[in-house]
């Protein structure tokens, strides 16, 4: 569970099995109108942490989005995303874990990844490029090559974020 810098929270349950990785997450944050906005996200990945299915549901306006991928950058219902292996939900902390786990970069190495970036709350999806660099034990530099944004992310031994400066800090992990 993470406390967000905007006062919201993010909670996630990750189930790892021989069949892959299932992620069930909820983000609650203050909307532009001052009310609470909730987003539930369900991610299904294969054993290599490659995204297979993405399901998003926004409680307040009943908006939803479902995407299906073959795990190697082929999206059955969104060909414009072909080449994107990972998904990044805007301002959702957990989705940074996907490329960190999948890439398993040694310290000092970096990789550029094509990502299906989901803008929230509109749920519009665009392909973007991001770079992850393993700068030190437990620290990855995240860079959006599209916007120029960058942040040094602290992670635990499982690749789960402990601190995303300006966005969220982990409260606890089970």
What is the reported pLDDT for 174?
66
Query: What CA–CA distance (Å, rounded) separates 49 from 103?
Result: 9
What is the reported pLDDT for 106?
97
Q: Which stretches within the chain are classed as H helix?
A: 97-103
How many structural domains compose the chain? 1
Contacts for 152 with CB less than 8 Å, ≥ 6 apart: 135, 139, 140, 141, 142, 165
**Residue 121: cis peptide before it, omega within 30 degrees of 0:** yes
* pLDDT bracket for residue 63 (50, 70, 90): confident
Query: What CA–CA distance (Å, rounded) separates 21 from 158?
Result: 13
Residue range of the domain that includes 25: 2-170
What share of the chain has pLDDT > 90, as a percent?
Answer: 73
pLDDT tens track for 69-126: 976 788 988 889 999 999 999 989 999 999 999 999 999 999 999 999 999 888 899 9
Higher-confidence residue: 158 or 112? 112
The alpha carbon of residue 38 and the mean position of all alpha carbons in its chain are separated, in whole angstroms, by 16
Q: Long-range contacts made by residues 63-68, C-beta under 8 angstroms, separation at least 24?
A: 63/121, 63/123, 64/123, 65/118, 65/123, 65/125, 67/116, 67/125
pLDDT tens track for 33-61: 777 789 999 999 999 999 999 999 988 77
What is the reported pLDDT for 152?
98
């Amino acid at each position: 569970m993470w406390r967000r810098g905007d006062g919201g929270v993010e909670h996630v349950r990750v189930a790892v099995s021989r069949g892959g990785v299932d992620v069930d997450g909820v983000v609650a944050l203050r909307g532009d109108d001052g009310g609470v906005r909730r987003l539930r996200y369900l991610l299904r990945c294969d054993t290599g942490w490659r995204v297979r299915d993405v399901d998003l549901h926004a409680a307040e306006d009943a908006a939803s989005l479902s995407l299906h991928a073959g795990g190697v950058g082929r999206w059955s219902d969104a060909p414009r995303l072909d080449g994107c292996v990972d998904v990044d939900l805007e301002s959702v902390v957990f989705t940074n874990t996907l490329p960190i786990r999948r890439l398993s970069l040694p310290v000092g190495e970096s990789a550029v990844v094509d990502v299906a970036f989901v803008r929230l709350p509109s749920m519009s999806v665009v392909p973007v490029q991001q770079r992850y660099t393993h700068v030190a034990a437990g620290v990855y530099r995240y860079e959006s090559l599209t916007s120029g944004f960058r942040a040094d992310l602290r992670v635990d031994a499982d690749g789960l974020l402990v601190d995303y400066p300006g966005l969220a800090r982990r409260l606890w992990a089970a």
